[in-house]
């Protein structure tokens, strides 16, 4: 807890709100008039005693409830980063989920430029429901391609592709049944539980649950999994350029339908854009098989 920072944050946000906007009458008469909401007005709006709110602002409230902090953040019109600071100053840790359910559905435009300029390894940014927001050329070339066709993104939603598309299950994600299906399905299940109001996640959950192949895996409860950071799994890389090391071999074909690709292992380095809680940034490191 940081009492001084907590007090400054709450006083600063109170001072920015005109009481008349919340229904209090315009102040009249002589004397000094302080700007913004008073502690008493904040307490009244929150349906708590003035003493209770004052304890929070002085940093004297032990372990304030998350719901109470969210009510304070909402009343004082805090942005997501200010709400995060409120939690950190009052509790010592960031909030588990964003206040705005749409917070993880987009990223700052600079992310799109940054990702597109990465070369040498596939990388991408996805929103909270695994819709791809930005990616580089290496990411597109990674996927199985029809022989003679130009590389293209096979599916806008990466989770749908990994769990439902035949080219992922049968060709690209090697040993899909044992190495991919369980962790990825459990990752989706955890996301739906954390963001039950997200329409894209709900629809995706229904699709996966109804699928004859992955549905039974999705309904199993014996795998607890949330983040892929650091995981290594086998896959085929269609765009891996031969000749990068002495271990490289020429690509081969997974089937007659797809262009040649390389068999190997991919390690997922995952992170989160701080300004978009729930969104993800992934950097994929591919190690070709000997």
User: What would the pLDDT profile of 157-193 be if each residue is shown by its tens digit?
Assistant: 999 999 999 999 999 999 999 999 999 999 999 888 8
pLDDT at 32 over 50: no
Domains detected in the chain: 3-91 (1.10.260.40), 103-288 (3.30.450)
What ranges in 104-198 are assigned the alpha helix state H? 109-116, 137-142, 158-164, 166-167, 181-194
CA distance 280 to 127: 6
Model confidence, pTM: 0.75
Task: Compute the half-sphere exposure of residue 204: CA atoms within 13 Å on the CB side of its CA.
Answer: 30
Query: pLDDT of 98-136, one tens digit each?
Result: 777 677 888 888 999 999 999 989 999 999 999 999 999
Q: Which of 22, 8, 118 is nearest to 74 (CA)?
A: 22
Entry field: residues in the chain: 290
> DSSP assignment of 170-181, as one string?
IIISTTIIIIIH
Question: What is the band of 30 on the pLDDT scale with cuts at 50, 70, 90?
Answer: low
């Amino acid at each position: 807890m940081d009492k001084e920072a907590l007090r400054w944050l709450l006083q600063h946000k109170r001072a920015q709100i005109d009481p008349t906007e919340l229904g209090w009458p315009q102040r009249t008469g002589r004397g000094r008039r302080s700007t913004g909401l008073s502690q008493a007005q904040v307490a009244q709006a929150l349906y708590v005693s003035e003493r209770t709110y004052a304890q929070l602002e002085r940093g004297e409230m032990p372990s304030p409830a998350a719901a109470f902090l969210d009510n304070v953040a909402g009343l004082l019109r805090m942005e997501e980063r200010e709400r995060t600071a409120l939690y950190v100053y009052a509790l010592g840790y960031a909030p588990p989920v964003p206040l705005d359910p749409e917070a993880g559905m987009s990223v700052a435009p600079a992310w799109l430029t940054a990702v597109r300029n990465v070369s040498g390894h596939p990388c991408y940014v996805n929103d909270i429901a695994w819709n791809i927001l930005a990616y580089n050329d290496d990411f597109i070339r990674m996927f199985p391609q029809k022989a003679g066709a130009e590389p293209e993104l096979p599916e806008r939603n990466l989770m749908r592709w990994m769990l439902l598309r035949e080219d992922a299950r049968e060709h690209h994600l090697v040993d899909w049944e044992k190495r991919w299906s369980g962790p990825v399905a459990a990752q989706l299940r955890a996301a739906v539980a954390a963001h039950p109001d997200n329409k894209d996640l709900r629809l995706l959950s229904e699709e996966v649950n109804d699928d004859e192949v992955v549905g039974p895996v999705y309904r199993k409860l014996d795998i607890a999994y949330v983040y892929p950071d650091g995981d290594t799994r086998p896959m085929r890389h269609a765009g891996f350029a031969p000749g990068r090391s002495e271990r490289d071999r020429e690509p081969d074909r997974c089937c007659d339908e797809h262009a040649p690709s390389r068999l190997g292992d991919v390690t997922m380095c995952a992170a989160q854009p701080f300004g978009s809680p729930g969104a993800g940034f992934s950097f994929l490191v591919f190690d070709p098989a000997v």
